[in-house]
Amino acid sequence: MLFRSWLGEFVPFRILRIAQAMRSGMSVDELAAITGWDSWFLSRIEAILDAEAMLAEDGLPTDAATLQSLKSMGFSDARMAKLTGKTRSAVTAARHEAGVHPVFKRIDTCAAEFAAETAYMYSCYEPFIGAECESAPADRKKVVILGGGPNRIGQGIEFDYCCVHACYALSDAGYETIMINCNPETVSTDYDTSDRLYFEPLTDEDVIEVIRRESQAGEMHGVVVQLGGQTPLKIAAALEQANIPILGTSPDAIDLAEDRERFQQLVNDLKLRQPENGIAHSAEEARDITARVGLPVVIRPSYVLGGRAMEVVHHEADLERYMRDAVVVSGDNPVLIDSFLNNAIEVDVDALCDGEDVYIGGIMEHIEEAGIHSGDSACSLPPQTLSDTLIEEIRRQTEALARALGVVGLMNVQFAIKDEDIYLLEVNPRGSRTVPFVAKATGVPLAKIAARVMAGEKLAGFDLDDISPDHVAVKEAVFPFARFPGSDVVLGPEMKSTGEVMGIDRDFGLAFAKSQLGAGVELPLSGRVFVSVRDEDKPAFIDICRDLHEMGFEILATGGTMTVLTGAGVPATRINKVMEGRPHAVDAMLSGDIQLVINTAMGAASMRDSFSLRHTALKNKIPYYTTVSGSRAAAQAIRALQKGDLGVRTLQGFLSDIAS
C-alpha cells in the first residue's frame, strides 16, 4: 500500500520511482493501473531496464550494432561505464573503435514538404549504422561557443548576452561561429545569431561529438567556454584532454580559481585578505571550522549555481540542522565555510585581460550588504560611498589577480569592504551577470572585446580608456514572489531573482527610483511607514526614519523599535506585532493604513514571527525593504521623487556625454 502511495505522488522525477518499481518486480499492467500512464510508455521504460540488466550481466558489447542500439535508446557513455564497471573514457574509446557516432539532423521547418535548410541541428543515434548526417560543416575557420546550459531561475540572461555578442564580434572578425546550447528559449539560439546551432546537452560527450563532426571540414580555431557560466567551465578540462583547443583562459587557470585550496595559496602569495574559511567533509569538521572562525558563518555546498543551499548560520543549532538536513556531506561534495562579514559593503568588478594588460570595465557597489546573493542585490555604478583610496586599491588587487591567474578574456571579482579593509570573496574567470549592465552603463562592449581577445587579439588594439561617467546607473533585481503563494521575500545568500532592470540618471536617488519603477515597485510620496527591525539594526535606522519623518511620513513601529526611535528624538507611534494581539500591523496593512514596510529579521524564530508582515505587504503590493542599505536607498529615492525631478532621457544621450 505504501509503495502504491509513493508511486501515486506527483513529484519531480516520478519516472525514476516508476523505474525502481519495475526493478522491484511490478509489471507494466500493475503500474498502468496505479499511475494512469499509458502502457506503451511503460513498456519503453521496461526495455531500457532490460538493457541495463544486460549491460550489468554481460559487460560492454564491442560490436557496432549493439552499441548503436544502446545509444539509440539514450544510454550515455557515463551510464554504460557505471553499469559495466569501466571508466567512461574506456567506453568512449570502444564506441569510437566500433565507429559508432551520432548523426546530426536539421530541425524541419518545412513539414517535410521541402528539405530544411535551417541552422538548427540536433544529434541522434538512429538504430542502424550509416544514417544520413545533415550537419554539412563548412570549409571555414571556425569558433565554437558553448552557451549557458540549463540555468537556474534568473541566471542566464547575462550568459546569453555574452554568447550573442561573442558571435557578432567573431563573425565581424571573419570567423564562422558555431553555437552549442541546450536551452531553446534563449536569444543565442535565434536563427540569425550564429552560422550553425546545435541543440545539445552541455556534457563533454555531446560537445566533443559536435566538435569532431565540425572539425571534418575547415579549421577548428578553438572553443569558447568562458561566456556560458559554470556549466561549460566544468567540461573545459575534458575538452582539453580530447585535444580540443580552448580559447582564452586555460583550463588550468580556471581550475586554479575554482579549486578552493589552490586559490587559497594564490591569495596568500599575492598577500590579499580573505574572510577566515575552511572546507568540511563531515559534520565534525564543520563544527571545528566554525569554532575556529567564529559565528556567524556563510556555509554552502561546493560547485553550485545561484548560491543553491547556501545559508548564513548564526547559531550552533542552525549549523547542526544545516549539516543534517540541507546538504549531503561527502568527500566528493565538501561544504565551504566562510566567516560572515556582518554589515560589510560588497563590491563587484568586471575586468578584461589579455594575459598581460588589464582593463577595468566597471566597479559596482552593492546596495544590499554582503551576505545577499549578488544576483539579488541592487548595485550602483559608479560606487557611491567608497573613497578614492579604496577604489584605487580594488583596481590594484583586480589587476594583480588577473595577471596571476593568466586570464584571457573576462573576469569577475567580488570584494567585501568592512572597516576600510578589503576582503576577497570570489573570483570567476568568466563572464558574469553584471557584464550586460556594465556595457550598457559605460558604452564599452565588454563581451565583444573579450571574444576577440580570446581569439588572439590584444587589448592595446581596442583603444580603451578608463571611464568616469557623470551619470549613475543602478541595477535592480526582479523577483517572482507574487507568483508563488507562501514564499518569503527576505533576501539571503541563495539567489531568488528572475530578472534585472536598470535605472539611470545623474542623481543616485533618481536612478534608484527609476530602477524601482522598472522592477514594478511604486514608492509612496506620503503616508505611513511601518518599521520593525532586529536589535543590531536599530541604530542604523534612526537616521533613515528621521529622514522619512522630515519628508512628511508618519512612523509606525513595534515596541522595541519605537523605544529606540523616540529615544533618539524621532517621533514614532507604537503598533502591535501580530503575536501581541489586535489591532496589529497586518490589520493596518490590510486596511490601507500603511504605504511602506521596513522589516529586518534574523534567526529562524524571528523570521517565522515576521513572515506574515512581509507576506501581507507582498499580496497587497505595498513596497517593502528587508535590509538597512535597501531602506536607506529607498529613502533617498523618495526624497528625489518628492522634488519632482523625474525625467526621461535615452541611454544613448547619457553615453554621448562620456564620448564628448
Q: Read off the pLDDT of residues 341-384 as tens digits, 9 standing for 90 and up.
A: 777 889 999 999 999 999 999 999 998 766 666 667 789 999 99
Quick one: pLDDT band at residue 312, thresholds 50, 70, 90?
Answer: confident
CA-wise closest residue to 638 among 517, 535, 509: 509
Quick one: pLDDT band at residue 486, thresholds 50, 70, 90?
Answer: low
- What is the rounded distance in angstroms from the CA atom of residue 453 to the CA atom of residue 501? 28
Length of the chain: 660
Quick one: pLDDT band at residue 648, thresholds 50, 70, 90?
Answer: confident
Which of 110-114, 153-157, 257-261 is least confident? 153-157
* pLDDT in the model for residue 493: 62
Give tens-digit pLDDT for 219-236.
Answer: 999 999 988 877 888 888
- What is the rounded distance in angstroms from the CA atom of residue 522 to the CA atom of residue 511? 14
- What is the rounded distance in angstroms from the CA atom of residue 186 to the CA atom of residue 202? 15
- What is the rounded distance in angstroms from the CA atom of residue 220 to the CA atom of residue 169? 17
Residue 505 pLDDT > 80: yes
Distances (CA, A) of 567 to 222, 527, 539, 557: 66, 23, 11, 13
Quick one: pLDDT band at residue 606, thresholds 50, 70, 90?
Answer: low
Exposed e or buried b per residue across 604-625, where buried means at least 16 C-beta atoms within 10 angstroms of its C-beta: eeeeeebbbbbbbbbeeebbbb
In the block, cell 521496461 appears at 46
What angle (nearest 5°) sits at the alpha carbon of residue 309, between those of residues 303 and 312? 110
Residue 489 pLDDT > 70: no
Mean pLDDT of the chain: 86
CA-derived radius of gyration, the chain: 28
Mean pLDDT of 566-582: 89
Provide the residue type at 347 as one letter. Answer: V
Residue 520, sorted as left (phi over 0), alpha (psi -120 to 50) or beta, turns out to be left
Distances (CA, A) of 212 to 146, 206, 259, 538: 15, 10, 29, 62
Residue 603 pLDDT > 50: yes
Exposed e or buried b per residue across 47-69, where buried means at least 16 C-beta atoms within 10 angstroms of its C-beta: eeeebbeebeeeebbeeeebbbb
- Helices within 215-338 (DSSP H only): 230-234, 236-241, 251-258, 260-269, 283-293, 316-321
By three-state DSSP, how is residue 181 classified?
strand
Which of 80-84, 194-198, 358-362 is least confident? 194-198
Asked whether the beta carbons of 171 and 250 are under 8 A apart, the reply is no
* pLDDT in the model for residue 151: 61
- What is the rounded distance in angstroms from the CA atom of residue 492 to the CA atom of residue 496? 9
Range among 60-69, 108-117, 175-184 with highest mean pLDDT value: 60-69
Which of 27-36, 368-377, 412-421 is least confident? 368-377
Rounded to two decimals, what is the model's pTM? 0.85
Residue 445, sorted as left (phi over 0), alpha (psi -120 to 50) or beta, turns out to be beta
Q: Give every strand in the sheet of 554-557, ordered side by side.
A: 573-574, 554-557, 528-532, 596-599, 624-625
* pLDDT in the model for residue 301: 67
Hey, which bits of 242-396 come out as E strands? 246-247, 277-280, 297-301, 311-313, 335-339, 345-354, 358-369, 379-381
Q: Is 643 exposed, middle or buried (0-12, 13-18, 19+ CB in 10 A)?
A: exposed
* pLDDT in the model for residue 627: 83
